[in-house]
Structure formats: structure tokens, C-alpha cells
Amino acid sequence: MTETTTDAASAAGRPERTRIERYDPSAIEPRWQQRWEELALHRTDLQNTRERYYLLTMYPYPSGDIHIGHWYIKTPTDAIARYRRMHGKNVFLPIGFDAFGLPAENAAIKNQINPRDWTMSNIANMRRQLRQMGATFDWDAEVVTCDPDYYRWNQWFFLQFLKAGLAYRAKSPVDWCPNDGTLAREQVEGADRHCWRCGAKVEKRELDQWYLKVTKYADELLDFSEIHFPDPVRIQQTNWIGRSEGGEIVFETAPSDHHAGGEEIRVFTTRPDTLFGATFMVLAPEHPLVATLTAPDRRAEVEAYVARAEAETEIERLSGDREKTGVSIGADAINPVNGERIPIFVADYVLAGYGTGAIMAVPAHDERDYAFAERFGLPIRRVVAEPGTEHEDLSEAYIAHSADEVLVNSGEFNGLGADEGGRRIVASLEERGKARAAVTYRLRDWLISRQRYWGTPIPVIHCDRCGIVPVPDEDLPVLLPETVDYEGSGVNPLTRDEAFLNVACPNCDGPARRETDTMDTFIDSSWYWYRYLSPHKPDGPIDPDMVETWTPVEQYTGGAEHAVMHLLYAREFTKMMRDIGLVQQNEPWKRVFNQGQILGADGERMSKSRGNVQDPDELVRRYGADTVRLFLMFMGPWDQGGPWSPSGIGGVHRFLNRVWTIVLDPHGVEPGDPDSGVLPAGETEADARATLRSAAHRTLRDVTADYEGFRFNTMVAKLMELSNTLMRYRGTGVAGSAEWEEAVRLLLLMLSPAAPHVTEELWSRRLAATGAEWSSIHAERWPEVDATAIAETTREVPIQVNGKLRDKLIVPVSIDPAELERLVLASPKVAAILGGRAPDRIVAAGGGKLVNIVLRDGG
């Protein structure tokens, strides 16, 4: 393979600029991709469990196109895989498709095609696009969740959970989107409660639904000791689980003209420390005691208010910025902690469906209570304060909860810390039967029923005689019908499919009907990395030995938007799998890294409807996959993302061109540049070679640390610097030296995980030039830093005369004292001060780190 052709040497003795083949990614990249596939570079021998490294990236949804956001997630992940392989790791980097779900169904309805056809043709296109990245995905392990070989195991899991009491059916109010049917709580977004997927206003409906009993794991899920999440995810999950210690407090009604008193009103509070600050109570309009407690002269007004509240939606009632309304019912309650009578109101900001439908109102320490108290002129009594601030007037509710706060205006509990005080107050009321310590969680059981077609059918049968009958294991999978009829009412065509619906009861053989709900697709994504390890296993969902050996997954990469959805569901699912004896581990993954999100140029989420999607194919055609990969790594810290801007991609492309030139044309010079091919003045060739070697090894040290920390942007910047250093010595006597060759070799090796094609090409040309047999750069070991090359060779010595700094000298690290003294006295600045006099003493402090010249008669 001829790499260069050199014209006749010029008269000056310098070679003319060599003509080398242009860097043309389109000629290189497909060739190497094919070669890697032939070599099975990407294929992992899962039986070889030595040095195993399971690298998982969130599997894509088959929306139709791979967009630049997929590249942003996947190509640095591939760089990690290649980097780890160079450390001798047996890396497993599988890929699959999250193939069930609403977009396919919506597209199918819109285009009148089958969701399966839509999904599978998208997957075919995405496979092609994913291959263009040059990523080393192990396609042999591919998993597609709409494949019956996959979803039958969702059904199997469900039946196991049902047997173990971890799945159950219950009637309950659900959040209902008119387009998407039932939503999980976390799929309802914003104060206006809209659907996460389509944005429609969410309603409440009462339905029989299937649940997984994940609240069982609430406390365990708060233990993050075996899983490393980025802080924001850990914090979001902690808040989502929402453990709060508090108490249920019993207030009694006070006797009055119209009422004997003694009725119990229970409230739950997470702030029992503020009980002395309760200056009124509020009942929900629906609270059963409203009717009995209301005084006769208040009845008309209260009834009118209750009727108005019932006509309003919860959304309207809970809206934060709305003026607080309410009416007094003309009765009092007795605060059990101090025997004080406090008035009872009815107000619509308290809901009957949440908690007990009654609250103790502490206006000093709750925003809504504060607004209400202001409006109705009720007392505001501060009971928690940092010492010395308890007499300051409040202009708003004081809800800060710092460690310094103590109880004030709280009788015998004054001076206690808030947490301690709260516990003591509950304990003292408990003795009198007026309170019960209670822990509550925000976490709810996982609602998995969806009234849609394109998902895993829930494998149960409804029989009039036998009730709910699980589908026997041997009848799995319950297949989704191939063709569906979207004409007709309701979002779920399964409810109209008689062939699907009608079935013999497995128990009594009588006529029965299949369940038509399908599963939340977050079930599919809760265990797919276990399936990757035995994707075709016919007699079980996972291979327990493989799972035991290869998981928890070493490293998982994906988006932070899944913090309280996928990243929490999957933890719950693994714990459920453990509890039915399927796996032994507590967590699915060891470490999770959230890369940022690439937004459209307009700063909005990329979507076809907004027209702000960047097509990577177009960039690949223009610059090649390596430039696109490298540019995405270079544009900023990986965990930050940001709006897409292609400016700068040209610079990255020029960098790869520079590498191309350095490797293939080391002796060339830039025509018209007089500095090109000449060493800088004063730099000897020996100095230059040492400088180059030092630069190469420093870069290796820093780039290694950057790969380890996923700091790809600084990694690329450092490789660019090294290429600049090489460029400076191109065409000089340094080019082609042993140090040059070493630096070029290191540059290619360091760049190879990030830009795999061009480095492979240049590597192969170098091998060919020396007549060596070809072997892939991606089979090379990661180089080792030579500490001697980066050791400091010189140091700076401050020179003082009578304690005053006069000069600084750069000297070799190993300089001997006599030589140092000679250099100091030779300094022009020092010589000028001495003016020919001999110094009285020369002190080299700190082993020569600082030199002081003592001159008795001044200086």
C-alpha cells in the first residue's frame, strides 16, 4: 500500500509538499464496519466470565428514525466499551427495542396499518442507522419486546407475582386520559394535571385495575447502598417514595349549644412539632361530620358552600394561586395538646379522598393555612424558630426546617429540636390515647393495567362461575391478535375482538372471557437486560447462572428523565424477582450515568412535529461517522446536553484531517508557511524530542482519567492539543524519530475508542508501511504511561538579594549546588545589583528551591 508520493526534492533540500490521499470517511467507514462484523469484534463470549464488563445503554423506542439524540447517548457508550476492551475486559454491549407502546398504536390508527408492521419496519431502519455509528453492539443478543418470545415472559412474571401475592386487582379511582386511557400517577404532569404523552387534561375514573404491590419495598427502595445513582436521581427517588414520620392526632369537638361535643376528628400530620401552633381546623366539604357539627345559624351558608365545592374539579380546588375560600361551621374543636378551643371551618382546599379529610391548620408554618388565616383574621402563632428569632413578625408562612430550630410557645416542649419535639409531643398524646405515631409514604402500588391493544395481554380469564382464573403456564403466551379493528368506540380494540375474547374457562371449561387490559410498557423495560443474556431461551425468562454471573450490570447509561419511572420501576421489579426466587441480587445495576439531552436548535425537545430534529444521516454523509461521534463528545460535558448547534463540527473534522496528515505525511511542510518544517528558535532537536515524548505521555495520563470519568469533551481537547504539538514538529528532524513514532502511536490508540474508523485505517496503513501483519487497533491494549517521560525535567528557582526577589531562573531538576551558584551569579539582573562586589554569603534554602544572596553593604 503506497501511502505517499514524493516529488523530486527541491533545491533547498527540503522535500516538496507530499501529495497524499484525501481523508474520505465515506470510503473508509463502511469497509471497516463490514470488516469488524466479519471479525465479530462486537460479539461477546458470555461463557467467558473472566474480566466481564456489562455495559448497558437504554434501549431505544422504535419511533422510526435514529436522531442525533440517540447518537449522543450511544456513541460515547460505545467509546466506553472500546476503551474497556483495550483494558482486557470482556465487554457485553447489547441492544434491543422497546417496541410496545402508544406511539405505534397512534401511528397505526392514523395510517391504518398494523402496529406490528409499523414497528418492525421502523426497527429495520433503525438497525441500519445504528450500524452507521460504528458502534460495537452485540446484535446477537437483540431483544424486541413485542416479540411473543419476549412478552410471554411478562405474562409468566405476572402469574408468578399473582401466586406470590405481589399482584392484585382492585377497584379504584384512576387518572384517565381521553386519548391514552389509564395513566400512572407519574404520567400525570403539572399543576393543571395533563397527560405526559399527549398533553390532554386528565380526569378521574373508577375502574377495576391490576396492581403490583411495590409499596412493600418502600423502605428498601430508600437504601441506595448497592446502587450508584447521580445525586439528582437519588434525590428524586427519595422524594418520590416520600417517607414521612408523623402522627395521627385525635381532636375532640367542644360542647356547644347545639352539640354535646366529644366527636373525634382525626388528622394526620407530618409536623407534630407544630401542634401548639394549630389555631383552627379545616374539614373537607365532603367530611361526614360537617352536617352533624354545623350550627343551625350557619347551616344555609355551609350547605351552599359544600354544593359549590362538589361542582368543582379537584384540579380547580388544589390550584395554588387561587384565593382561599371557606366558611365557619359554628363549632369548635379542642386541641389535645393544650386544651385550647379552636374554630372549625369547611374549605375546599382540603380533599376528602386524601388522608383523613381534615387538617389541623398551623398558619405560622404552612402556606395555605397562612393565606386562609390572613383572609379570615385568625391567630398566627409561631411555634418553631431559630433561637432568638421567635418574636420576629412573620410576613409569610415559615416553613424552613433547619437543624438549629427549636420549639417555642410550646409549653413543656419549648427548646427541643423540631424532630425530637415532634416525637415527644406524639408520645405524650399517645399515653392519653390521643395520638398514634405513623409513618407514611408517598409511593403507591404500581398500576399496570392499560386499556390499549399494543402491549402484553394480562393473562387472566374472567369466568362467571369461577371468578378470575389465571391462564395456565402451558397456555402462554396469550397472543395479541394479528389484525385489529380500530373502528368502533373505546380506545382498546381487544374489547371488540370476539375471537380473542371468548375462551373456555381453564377451571370449569365453561364459557369465559379474556382480560382485555394490557400491561404498562414499563414492565417490558424492567428486566430486558436479564433477557439479553439468554435472548432465545425457550423454557424460562432468564438464565439464572448467566444472570448471577453478569449482573448487576456494571454500568448503565441513559436519560435522567426516567428518574422516578423506569429507573425506579426496574429496581422494584428486581426486588420482586428476588422475592420469587429468580435472582439473588437486590439491585439491577451497580452504576447509572445520565447523559444530558440534546435539544432542538430552538432549545425545545427535538420532535418531528416541531420540525427541529437533526438528521444524523445527513451529517454522516457530509463529515463521516467519526466526526459526528467526536463532535458530540466534544460539544460539552456529557451529562449536560443542550441545544443542538452544528457550529464547531467543521473544527472537529479538521482535527481528524490533521491526524490523517500527521500519520501519512510526517515529513511534509505547509507551503507558504516559513515556520513549517523548522524547529522554533533556540529549541534543539534533542529538546524537541523530549518535549514531544513528555507531551504524549502527559496526554495519555490525562486522557485515561477523562475516559474513566466520562469527560469526553476534555479528552478530545487534549488529543487536539497533542495533534497541534505533532503538527509543530512535522517536517522537522523530529518527524519520523522514535519519539515521533511513539507519539503518533499513542495518539491513534487514545483516539480509537472515540473515532474508531479513521484510527483503524491509519493503524492499518502504518502496519502495511512497515510490512507488519495486519491486526485491528481495537484489539490493542491501552498504553501505559511512562512516568519518567512526564517527570518534571526543570524547575523554577526564585533568586533573592537580601530577602528581596530579584530574578527567577529555570534550571534542570538535578542541578548540583556549585552549578546553581554559578548560574545565579551569571544572572544579568543579579550581576547588575552586585556591581562587581562579591556576595558575603549565598544561601540555597530548601535544597535549592530558593536562593538568597546576602550582601552586607546593601544591594
Give the closest residue to 744 by CA, choosing from 635, 667, 652, 687. Answer: 667
Q: Quick one: 177 or 649, whose CB is closer to Zn ion?
A: 177
Q: Which of 184, 195, 447, 632 binds Zn ion (CB under 5 A)?
A: 195
Q: Quick one: 359 or 491, whose CB is closer to Zn ion?
A: 491
Instruction: Evaluate the omega torsion of the peptide bond into residue 493 and state whether it is cis, within 30 degrees of 0.
Output: no
Footprint on residues 255-284 left by Zn ion (CB under 5 A): none
Binding track over 405-444 against Zn ion, x by CB under 5 A: ----------------------------------------
Report if residue 515 touches Zn ion, rule: CB under 5 A.
no
The CA distance from 571 to 553, in Å, is 12
Give the closest residue to 132 by CA, choosing from 81, 75, 94. Answer: 75
Q: Quick one: 107 or 768, whose CB is closer to Zn ion?
A: 107
Binding track over 317-356 against Zn ion, x by CB under 5 A: ----------------------------------------
Task: Determine the straight-line distance between the first and last CA of the chain, rounded to whole angstroms.
Answer: 70
φ/ψ of residue 55, rounded to 5: -110, 120
Q: Quick one: 507 or 714, whose CB is closer to Zn ion?
A: 507
**Concatenated DSSP letters for 747-812?**
HHHHHTTTSHHHHHHHHHHHHHHTTPPP--GGGSPPP---HHHHS--EEEEEEEETTEEEEEEEEE
CA 172 to chain centre: 32
Region of 29-37, 170-178, 238-246, 649-657 interacting with Zn ion (CB under 5 A): 170-178
The CA distance from 349 to 367, in Å, is 12
Q: What's the min distance (Å) between Cβ of 115 and Zn ion?
A: 17
Region of 8-16, 196-204, 784-792, 821-829 interacting with Zn ion (CB under 5 A): 196-204
Report if residue 177 touches Zn ion, rule: CB under 5 A.
yes
Report if residue 465 touches Zn ion, rule: CB under 5 A.
yes
Q: Which of 125, 179, 640, 645 binds Zn ion (CB under 5 A)?
A: 179
- Supply angle C-alpha 503, 504, 509, rounded to 5: 170
Q: Quick one: 429 or 505, whose CB is closer to Zn ion?
A: 505
The CA distance from 121 to 133, in Å, is 19
Instruction: Evaluate the omega torsion of the peptide bond into residue 288 and state whether it is cis, within 30 degrees of 0.
Output: no
Give the closest residue to 782 by CA, choosing from 817, 814, 827, 751. Answer: 751
With helix as H, strand as E and coil as C, how does 414-461 read?
Answer: CCCEHHHHHHHHHHHHHHCCCEEEEEECCCCCEECEECCCCCCECCEE
290-296-298-301 Cα dihedral, nearest 10 degrees: 80
Q: What's the min distance (Å) between Cβ of 176 and Zn ion?
A: 9
Region of 122-130, 151-159, 282-290, 458-466 interacting with Zn ion (CB under 5 A): 458-466
Q: What's the min distance (Å) between Cβ of 63 and Zn ion?
A: 17
φ/ψ of residue 539, rounded to 5: -115, 25
At 211, the amino acid letter reads Y
Q: Quick one: 505 or 746, whose CB is closer to Zn ion?
A: 505
Q: Quick one: 159 or 443, whose CB is closer to Zn ion?
A: 159
Q: What's the min distance (Å) between Cβ of 192 and Zn ion?
A: 13
Q: What's the min distance (Å) between Cβ of 105 and Zn ion?
A: 12
Q: What's the min distance (Å) between Cβ of 189 and Zn ion?
A: 10
Report if residue 102 touches Zn ion, rule: CB under 5 A.
no
Q: What's the min distance (Å) between Cβ of 354 and Zn ion?
A: 24
Q: Which of 39, 164, 191, 198 binds Zn ion (CB under 5 A)?
A: 198
Q: Which residue has the cell 421502523?
A: 122
Footprint on residues 481-510 left by Zn ion (CB under 5 A): 505, 507-508
The CA distance from 12 to 347, in Å, is 96
Number of residues that bind Zn ion (CB under 5 A): 13
- Supply angle C-alpha 847, 849, 855, rounded to 5: 90
Region of 184-192, 199-207, 767-775, 794-802 interacting with Zn ion (CB under 5 A): 199-207
Q: Quick one: 360 or 460, whose CB is closer to Zn ion?
A: 460
Q: At what angle do helices 616-623 and 649-664 cross, to 10 degrees?
A: 30
**Concatenated DSSP letters for 27-88?**
HHHHHHHHHHHHHTTT---TT--TTEEEEEEPPPP--S---HHHHHHHHHHHHHHHHHHTTT
Q: Quick one: 197 or 213, whose CB is closer to Zn ion?
A: 197
Q: What's the min distance (Å) between Cβ of 450 and Zn ion?
A: 12
Region of 179-187, 270-278, 592-600, 664-672 interacting with Zn ion (CB under 5 A): 179-187
Q: Quick one: 513 or 765, whose CB is closer to Zn ion?
A: 513
C-alpha cell at 576: 420482586
Report if residue 200 touches Zn ion, rule: CB under 5 A.
yes
Q: Quick one: 505 or 523, whose CB is closer to Zn ion?
A: 505
Q: What's the min distance (Å) between Cβ of 463 and Zn ion?
A: 3
CA 231 to chain centre: 10
What lies within 8 Å, CB to CB, of 98 at 6+ separation is: 59, 60, 61, 62, 145, 521, 524, 525, 528
The CA distance from 272 to 276, in Å, is 9
Q: Which of 78, 175, 180, 760 binds Zn ion (CB under 5 A)?
A: 180
Q: Quick one: 198 or 813, whose CB is closer to Zn ion?
A: 198
- Do β-strands 553-559 and 589-595 pair in parallel, antiparallel, or remain unpaired? parallel
Q: What's the min distance (Å) between Cβ of 570 and Zn ion?
A: 23
Give the closest residue to 407 by CA, choosing from 421, 388, 393, 425. Answer: 421
Report if residue 460 touches Zn ion, rule: CB under 5 A.
no
Q: Quick one: 235 or 468, whose CB is closer to Zn ion?
A: 468
Q: What's the min distance (Å) between Cβ of 594 and Zn ion?
A: 25
Q: Quick one: 428 or 507, whose CB is closer to Zn ion?
A: 507
φ/ψ of residue 59, rounded to 5: -70, 145
Q: Which of 20, 109, 466, 565 binds Zn ion (CB under 5 A)?
A: 466
Q: Quick one: 521 or 699, whose CB is closer to Zn ion?
A: 521
The CA distance from 186 to 208, in Å, is 19
Report if residue 587 touches Zn ion, rule: CB under 5 A.
no
Region of 35-43, 191-199, 644-652, 757-765 interacting with Zn ion (CB under 5 A): 191-199
Residues that bind Zn ion (CB under 5 A): 177, 179-180, 195, 197-198, 200, 463, 465-466, 505, 507-508
